[in-house]
């Protein structure tokens, strides 16, 4: 048991030296941040991964530790697409305004949850904004004592996208009055992920435009200003103010936080140009620079930030799974991680218990201790219909792939009935090689240079981890799990 925890802590610590400007490494899109005295908390999109909305803690805006999740169990009204959580505090209560897809009609709307703590114990209060075919990306602003909530509307309609606003009740749990337009996108180039600051005599509305996700992304951040909160807003002729730079591209969707010494920072996401969609939209920090002589702000990407670390006191908080297709059952017992669970009938892959990657160049290893008819081993999982892996099944080791509604065995070999170690070696050219070994033998290559470019999904990166496919009454037993960035 301790070995798994220690190894897991080590792989998280390896994240810290990967790239400049990295604040929270790995897939954490649409981040939101809040300061509580001298401590900062951040959360972000979890999409189709459970648990829901990971929470990170930092005392210096550089070193981040995951503390848990907003929800361990999905709110009753939701079915998926857990996007863009937004922190806010009213009195001594912490609020998370979040986007999710409604179970009854599959439309994305905005819900709200509250807690007396910024990193645990959130209680859901259901939908607060139900508007049109889609209402997403909540942001709350206090204008002289009057609370407002803003959001993106009409992204799925054949009409201009708008950023809308409404008065928010004093308890933060319902809107009041009619919605009003803050800014309209007549070009339909995209407008979302808004955040608002008041500086001197102007309200500055920062928003993201372009294609947010995937290989064809074009995201960037622009700004508009108005003398009144409700507008009209005038766009800056120097837009965008944050776009492709150095190792990063498609920057956008962030929230501001003031440091203890009064500097304003913007936590946002971007794709690393090198690893791209394989590490997803990672959280970066930029500094707000206000130009007194022009009256307009700029955003400057910060270098030399460290990445997220995990403490070794708990294994549970770091694992994630695709809640739409599987319900894993796992526990540490007698020095082994035992994995089983239920999977849906349309799931061609099986149970995948995964972690967030921070590189596209790593070795993934484990040891399968037990023998049964189930397939047990390692996977790199994009979706139930897009996955690849290596595992032990009976007296065979098998390298398998799920793609285009087909599950195939690429290569297989017989092994002795003893502990079998497995390895997947991921390379920056987006290919994987698969290895196994028994007893004290050297690694045997089962398959080499297998193309895995099909794995990433539109809005999330593939996850490496442990795999089980078999009868729910059986299980896989692993003596360790290790992810080493090369």
Neighbours of 92 (CB within 10 A): 6
373, 378, 383: which is closest to 348 by C-alpha?
383
Six token digits for residue 432: 């994987």
30 is catalytic: yes
Distance CA 464, CA 352 (A): 9
Q: Measuring CA to CA, how many Å separate 434 from each of 134, 182, 463?
A: 43, 53, 16
Catalytic residue among 27, 30, 119, 322: 30
Q: What is the dihedral of CA 114, 115, 117, 119, to 10 degrees?
A: -60
360 is catalytic: no
Beta-carbon contacts of 270 under 8 Å, excluding residues fewer than 6 positions away, are 219, 248, 249, 250, 251, 252, 281, 282, 284
Neighbours of 342 (CB within 10 A): 12
245, 229, 261, 251: which is closest to 164 by C-alpha?
229
Q: Do 37 and 321 touch, CB atoms closer than 8 A?
A: no
Q: Measuring CA to CA, how many Å separate 88 from each of 60, 62, 85?
A: 20, 21, 10
Distance CA 217, CA 416 (A): 48
Beta strand pairing status for 264-272 and 281-291?
Answer: antiparallel
**Helix spans in 120-265 (H):** none
Catalytic residue among 86, 137, 192, 282: 192
Tokens 């009003």 sit at which residue? 180
206, 279, 213: which is closest to 250 by C-alpha?
213
Residue 311 buriedness (CB in 10 A; 0-12 / 13-18 / 19+): middle
First to last CA, the chain: 25
Beta-carbon contacts of 236 under 8 Å, excluding residues fewer than 6 positions away, are 222, 223, 224, 225, 296
Distance CA 349, CA 401 (A): 8
246, 317, 22: which is closest to 31 by C-alpha?
22
Distance CA 158, CA 16 (A): 44
Distance CA 166, CA 228 (A): 14
Q: Do 266 and 254 touch, CB atoms closer than 8 A?
A: yes
| Beta bridge pairs of residue 89 | 94
Active site residues: 30, 192
């Amino acid at each position: 048991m301790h070995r798994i925890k220690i190894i897991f802590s080590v792989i998280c610590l390896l994240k810290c030296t990967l790239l400049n400007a990295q604040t929270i490494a790995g897939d954490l899109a649409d981040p939101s941040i809040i300061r509580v005295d001298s401590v900062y908390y951040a959360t972000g999109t979890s999409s189709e991964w459970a648990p829901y909305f990971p929470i990170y803690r930092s005392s210096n805006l550089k070193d981040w530790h995951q503390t848990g999740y907003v929800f361990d169990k999905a709110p009753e009204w939701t079915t998926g697409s857990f996007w863009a959580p937004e922190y806010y505090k009213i009195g001594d209560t912490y609020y998370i305004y979040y986007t999710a897809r409604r179970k009854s009609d599959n439309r994305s709307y905005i819900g709200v949850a509250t807690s007396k703590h910024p990193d645990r114990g959130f209680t859901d209060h259901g939908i607060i904004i139900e508007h049109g075919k889609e209402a997403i990306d909540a942001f709350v602003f206090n204008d002289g004592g009057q609370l407002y909530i803003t959001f993106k509307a009409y992204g799925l309609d054949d009409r201009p996208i708008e950023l809308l606003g409404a008065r928010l009740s004093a308890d933060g749990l319902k809107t009041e009055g009619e919605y009003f337009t803050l800014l309209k996108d007549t070009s339909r180039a995209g407008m979302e992920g808004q955040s608002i600051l008041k500086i001197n005599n102007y309200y500055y509305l920062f928003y993201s435009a372009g294609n947010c996700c995937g290989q064809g992304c074009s995201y960037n951040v622009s700004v508009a200003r108005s003398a009144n909160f409700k507008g009209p807003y005038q766009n800056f002729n120097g837009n965008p103010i944050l776009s492709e730079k150095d190792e990063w591209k498609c920057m956008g969707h962030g929230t501001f936080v003031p440091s203890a010494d009064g500097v304003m920072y913007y936590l946002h996401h971007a794709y690393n140009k090198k690893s791209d969609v394989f590490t997803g939209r990672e959280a970066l920090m930029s500094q707000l620079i206000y130009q007194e002589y022009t009256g307009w702000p700029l955003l400057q990407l910060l270098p030399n930030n460290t990445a997220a670390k995990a403490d070794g006191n708990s294994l549970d908080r770091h694992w994630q799974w695709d809640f739409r297709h599987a319900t894993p059952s796992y526990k540490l017992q007698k020095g082994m991680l035992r994995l089983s669970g239920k999977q849906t009938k349309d799931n061609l892959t099986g149970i995948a218990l995964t972690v967030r990657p921070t590189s596209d160049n790593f070795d993934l290893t484990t040891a399968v201790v037990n023998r049964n008819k189930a397939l047990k081993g390692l996977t790199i999982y994009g979706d139930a219909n897009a996955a690849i892996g290596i595992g032990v099944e009976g007296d065979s080791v098998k390298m398998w792939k799920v793609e285009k509604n087909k599950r195939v065995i690429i290569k297989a070999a017989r092994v002795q009935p003893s502990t079998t170690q497995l390895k997947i070696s991921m390379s920056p050219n987006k290919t994987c090689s698969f290895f196994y070994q028994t007893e004290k033998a050297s690694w045997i290559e089962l398959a080499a240079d297998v193309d895995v470019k099909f794995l990433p999904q539109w809005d999330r990166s593939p996850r490496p981890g442990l795999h089980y496919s078999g009868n729910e009454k059986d299980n896989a037993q692993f003596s360790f799990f290790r992810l080493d960035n090369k």
